[in-house]
Structure 1
Amino acid sequence: MTGGYPLLVADLVGVAVFAASGASAGVAKRLDLFGVAFVGFAAALGGGILRDLVIGAAPPLAFADWRYAVTAVAASIAAFWLHPALHRVRRTVLALDAAGLGLFTVTGTLKALEAGVPAVGACLVGMLTGIGGGVIRDLLTGEIPVVLQREIYAVVALGGAVLVAVLHRLGLAGVIPLAAAAVAMTAVRLIALRRRWSAPVAVP
């Protein structure tokens, strides 16, 4: 996955996943259809917009390519209408968020590397791309952003971004290795949630 169609597909899948995550959070807060769609749209595209602004890609793809906005809105509306089938909304939000974190971190890091950003900077861009949508979603729904709490979230994104940078350096940035990196990040995030892993906090 060095660019072109595979990268676009991965990006759009990430958009759909984060949109569904944001929309599910909106449903849990009992927002109306517009509110759910807005939260889903912002959650899906916020990280990508931040990424594009940092690497100097103007206008951001969220505005330049209609497929991104349409995917985000369609996934949000689908989540709104299908939420009765999602019996445990919070678990669904967390699972979708973990998948979105993995997908967006991979594509964000790869795009930064292909834009000529040095490896360290590309890893930071990848992390910001991965966590940006979740931060916006939490703020819009009145929650403390997960990244600021004890849960292992940004650390997973940063670790995944480093893995992508290493794969890219070794010439292994193909579809399968990068997909495996996204799956690994998703798995680590879900395991961290299940086992309640957390970063240390200051003792008052």
Structure 2
Amino acid sequence: MTELYHWFDLIGIAVFAVSGTLIAYDKKMDGFGVVVLATVTAIGGGTLRDLILDVPVFWLHEQSFFWAILGSVFITTRLINNQRSIPFYTLQIADAFGLAFFAVMGTQKAMLVGMPNTTAVIMGVITACFGGLIRDVLAGNIPMLLKGELYAIACIAGGVVYTLATFLGLTTELSMICAMLMTLLLRLAALKWQLTLHVFKYPD
């Protein structure tokens, strides 16, 4: 199971590194800026989660995470340079997959260290969203967390599904798959149909 978790972490980090690279391309950053933006997107949320939970930061003794980031940066930059343009929805889809992986992994890690379900779900949201928040702040954008269609809500839904699935006795693997699918499909549906939680009324 430890090996499975590690691979899920690597996939989530790689996907988020892609989204950071795409933002760096949009902002015309240099090579160092690309790597910095990809890295904070990929590990920022997990780092904050581990600091709050007072556990060892997950990437300190594991070099494979940085190889995943650099590999994602290299592949994405090569593809962009060959295509010369990239649709905006590519960033949204990459980000949605990253949310799905990290919301569940963050929730699961918090539960493993003995956190109650509500706290675990919050840790899932932090893991999934705060790397992107740091990315958007550094890039000078309004964070998707604050304006995106059901951004944090999708992470909350995934975390709730995971905690319920484990409570009902489903296997860890099945619980993870169900929760990831919930997060991913809800986020993609929100993007397609522009689903948001409006609290203010605007003239337009």
Q: Is the TM-score greater than 0.5?
A: yes
**Aligned mates of 1:166, 1:180 — CA distance in 2:** 10
Aligned residue in 2 for 1:40: 38
Q: Does 1:21 align with 2:19?
A: yes
Q: Does 1:80 align with 2:77?
A: yes
RMSD across aligned C-alpha pairs, in angstroms? 1.6
1:74 Cα deviation after fit? 1.9
Aligned residue in 1 for 2:122: 124
**Which segments of 5 or more consecutive residues in structure 2 lack a partner in the other structure?**
none
1:86 Cα deviation after fit? 7.8
Q: What is the TM-score with the length of structure 2 in the denominator?
A: 0.92
1:171 Cα deviation after fit? 2.6
42-51 or 194-203, which deviates more? 194-203
**Which segments of 5 or more consecutive residues in structure 1 lack a partner in the other structure?**
none
**Aligned mates of 1:151, 1:186 — CA distance in 2:** 12
1:118-172 alpha-carbon deviations (Å, 9 max, x no partner): 1111111011111112111111211000111152100111111111111122232
11-20 or 63-72, which deviates more? 63-72
**Aligned mates of 1:122, 1:8 — CA distance in 2:** 19
The percent of aligned pairs where both chains have the same amino acid is: 31
Aligned pair count reads: 201
182-191 or 104-113, which deviates more? 182-191
Aligned residue in 1 for 2:102: 104
1:15-66 alpha-carbon deviations (Å, 9 max, x no partner): 00000011111111111121111100110000110111122112x1122211
1:173 Cα deviation after fit? 4.0
**Aligned mates of 1:6, 1:132 — CA distance in 2:** 24
Aligned residue in 2 for 1:149: 147
19-28 or 63-72, which deviates more? 63-72
